[in-house]
Structure 1
Amino acid sequence: MATDTPSSVMYTDLRQFGGIAHRDTATVLFDGSVSIGGKTLSARIDDRTFLSREIVHAKPGSLHPELFSDFPVAAKKITSRLIAARGGGQAGCSEVIAHYRGAAATCMCDALTSNDIDAIPYGNVVRKIMSLHLELESDRALLLVMLFVIVGCLADPRAAIDAIDAFAASELATSLDTLVGDEAPRPQAASTAHETRLGLVRLINGAFRPPIHELSCDPAGTIIGCLPNGSHSIADVDADVSRQHVRIWREDGRWLVADLNSTNGTRVISGADKSVHIIANAQAESREPSTSKPFELRNSDILCLGSTTRFLVMKLSVGRS
């Protein structure tokens, strides 16, 4: 089986996730007026054989950057279509963000690695984009899609990063070098005027399953379980999760999780270094009550309940308490 290229990963993803046909994607991305072999690219794109062999399955570096139209403009069009395809509004935007910081980013990194291209910068810039303080979450979606699209076209993460940084500086008054969120120094005095909001999205077989569950900022927090009590709860779990399995709440600017004497235990996998933190052992293993001290949750951590329920911790936005 032929190795996937960044280009084929991009076209396949946009069709499967956003319902955008290969021809439509190519029409948006390429400068149709450019002539190749006596025909314009617009005419070439209409040729299914040419579209498949020379564009969709293009080998890394085979398409010159001058063949493409303005990437920010193209990315805006594609992002709008993706959000609309996922239902529109904030929910659609959140799905796009979750997909292009998660499953799509993983596929692109795998394609880069398979083609002997360093994928580490791609993962780094995804984390940078997720940490930016942006007024609109739609701008975060745009930056993630722009990264995905440019790398899909050029197979060059560093060129994509340069283009995104220039766009962020000129259009969004920010920079990938800006320290925010978990990377920023903590203020000397605690402030509740602006706090990070977190959400959880289910991970099933490595893929996201909407919706995104926003965690409550109320003092009582959010209870997760198969039959949770309280006004703020999440029941999107598998059968081995306890009735009230964990509680998550915000305290002094930090998000904390504690096991509620669950039967099958709780773990957190760090998004920073993949280290595993046992919050509470399964009672069948320890033969003791499953008690735990509060543990701080951070953006990109994975919360594991029982044997199969997994949630990705996501930074949603910055807002008022």
Structure 2
Amino acid sequence: MEKIVFLDRATLAPQIKLRKPGFAHEFVEYEKTAPEDVLTRLAGATIAITNKVALTKEVLDRLPGLKLVAVAATGTDCVDKAACQHRGIAVANIRGYALNTVPEHTFALMLALRRNLVAYRNDVLAGVWQKSGQFCFFDHPIHDLGGARLGIIGEGVLGQRVAEIGKAFGMVPMFAAHKGKQGLGPLYTPWSEVLATSDVISIHSPLTPETRNMLAMPEFRAMKRKPLIINTARGGLVDEGALVQALDEGLISGAGFDVTDGEPPRMDSPLMRVAGRPNVILTPHVAWASDEAQQALADQLVDNIENFVGGKPTNLVQSAY
């Protein structure tokens, strides 16, 4: 009989139904798990489920019965995959569930900032409308999406979907060539051109050593059209201190971020210090989290586990062999 342990069930909303696998098993779930409790809670487990709880080499080396790590997310950086490979532990992840929710959140941020909705809402609540003496007022600039140049960093399924929606708005999407690389084919616009000509830059890249801080002061200073910066991908892709400096110097017109470098962020972190500005929107890593997307994730998670136990594994990022 398999023993399945879910280390951080609270990373899925309580209304999301997680069906139990259709084979003999013991299922144990914890709302949250501190690092010092991981080993104890996984003792005797054959299948571990984690979203953000780290599974380190030190822990994995002491779990001889573990056969599968089922990650309840797409990113697998919380798992030491080299240690899993050494011990013959398979790792599976979730794919394709966020095709609507992340792009929709991206455009919610984009529309709110391009049309200055936060600033106008604040003014309405402060009574500025009544003081204006006419039917409307123009204290903050409003820009259409139609005709704007949309620079997209990351050409995966989410970046592609953002491009499709951008075209529907009449935007001109451009996929940025990978930083520091040339000759990547007709899909791509040179990195320097995307920086210089975009009205909005939307990030949809994984976080790797190569992509960390891919946008910093040199890049912000190359942004001639003072674009919005939208990040619904990963914290750490943008140098947050440099982002604040770029906002202060007027090098960019605003920022819509759903992710931070360290989550939750410290109250004195760069993004938290500017989160109250009308041209900054910071949301708590919820772009992925529509009810529909979370349910699709939960269903796929159990599918991955059932398929692995049934001998037909799916969504493996690393085989057990």
* TM norm. shorter chain > 0.5: no
Q: As a proportion of its length, which structure holds more strand?
A: 1
Relative contact order (alpha carbons < 8 A, sep ≥ 6): 1 or 2 greater? 2
TM-score by length of 1: 0.28
Q: As a proportion of its length, which structure holds more helix?
A: 1
